A = this chain, B = another copy of it.
Amino acid sequence: MTLPTFDDVIAAEARIAPHIHRTPVLTCATLDDRAGANLFFKCENFQKVGAFKARGACNAVFGLDEATARRGVATHSSGNHGAALAYAAGRRGIPAAIVMPETASAAKKAAVSGYGGRIVECAAGMAAREAALAEVVKETGAELVHPYADARVIAGQATASKELIEDVAGLDAIIAPVGGGGLLSGCCLTLSALAPSVALYGAEPEAADDAQRSLKAGRLITDDAPNTIADGLRASLKPLTWHFIQAGVTDILTVSEDEIISAMRLVWTRMTIIIESSSAVPVAAILKNRDVFAGRRVGVVLTGGNVDLDDLPWRDH
């Protein structure tokens, strides 16, 4: 297990700068009122490929030596990491094979294809994904870039929280969604180096609460294919991300599916920005836990903005 260090984060920042946006931090008076807190939204929904995943993917792809790069890259992804890896590979001019569950949204499949990635379909569930990916790697010799259990990816994702800390003075806390834990591990790495007094919260769906259960148990507990509307958060922690999270996270908060949808709709209507359901998870957690956040300056990572406009969650509500 290769652990990324803060030096890797600094190197990642320089490496990916030509390929990503330094995204803005937005505020919203209505959300502040509802939360009783000062919220600073790091808008990774405005990031290249519409998600923070562009950071880790670009760091992995542009860090490869020439001979390795030429064989291409491969990964499995429920969506954004696949699009991000296809994007990064396209910028470098190398092939990318993306293993996607059949259940991935049409919009996310179209994004991968649009960036020139080759989609390899598999059954839902982490076991099926990993088997299909192993097959692809064996066939092509491609470099595996895991969506989160990869030191290069975590170092890349860490640049999001680094920018947030640099752009907002005096933060008391940061909250980010947790699926596989790549982003949250990156936050751990950044905060431990730059701002160890800032509290760090993970937010996840009740329906995919492996991180909360792991933190409570003090040992890594994983689920296979939990079901939640927050489709970016269906992955489970791995030893590498658990390593960071068990040491660096203040608490993990969970929210219901209805709370996710309601928070998503609130952000859409009051901030007039589009966030995907996974990004609504930390917003919902803040609104649900006034006792934790009231009166504090809180950085919130809005992780992505890729949605299927023909399949919005409130259509059935």
Interface residues of A (CB under 8 A from B): 24, 26, 45-46, 50, 107, 265, 268-269, 271-275, 305-306, 309-310, 312, 314
Contacts and interface: CB of A to CB of B under 8 A. Distances in A.
Oligomeric state, in copies? 2
A309 B309 contact: no
B314 A309 contact: yes
Given A272-B273, A273-B273, A273-B274, A265 B305 contact: no
Contact of A265 (B26, B45, B271, B309): B309
A46 B314 CA distance: 23
Nearest to A274: B272
Contact of A305 (B26, B272, B309): B272
A2 to B, nearest CB: 33
Name the prevailing secondary structure of the A interface residues. mixed
Contact of A268 (B271, B309, B314): B309
Contacts of A271: 46
A309 B310 contact: no
A283 to B, nearest CB: 15
A312 B314 contact: no
Nearest to A273: B273
A99 B152 CA distance: 59
Given A24-B24, A274-B274, A269 B309 contact: yes
Nearest to A275: B272
Nearest to A276: B272
24 contacts: A24-B24, A26-B46, A45-B272, A46-B271, A46-B272, A50-B272, A107-B269, A265-B309, A268-B274, A268-B309, A269-B274, A269-B309, A272-B273, A272-B274, A272-B275, A272-B305, A272-B306, A273-B273, A273-B274, A274-B274, A309-B312, A309-B314, A310-B314, A312-B312
Contacts of A310: 314
A310 B268 CA distance: 12
Contacts of A265: 309
Contacts of A24: 24
Which of A269, A272, A275 has the most CB atoms of chain B within a 10 A radius of its CB? A272
A19 to B, nearest CB: 12
Contacts of A50: 272
A48 to B, nearest CB: 8
A20 to B, nearest CB: 12
A210 to B, nearest CB: 28
A177 to B, nearest CB: 17
A80 to B, nearest CB: 12
A262 to B, nearest CB: 12
Contacts of A268: 274, 309
- Please list the 8 inter-chain residue pairs (A to B) with the smallest Cβ-Cβ separation, ordered nearest first: A272-B305, A272-B274, A45-B272, A273-B273, A50-B272, A268-B274, A46-B272, A274-B274
A312 to B, nearest CB: 7
Contacts of A26: 46
A46 B270 CA distance: 9
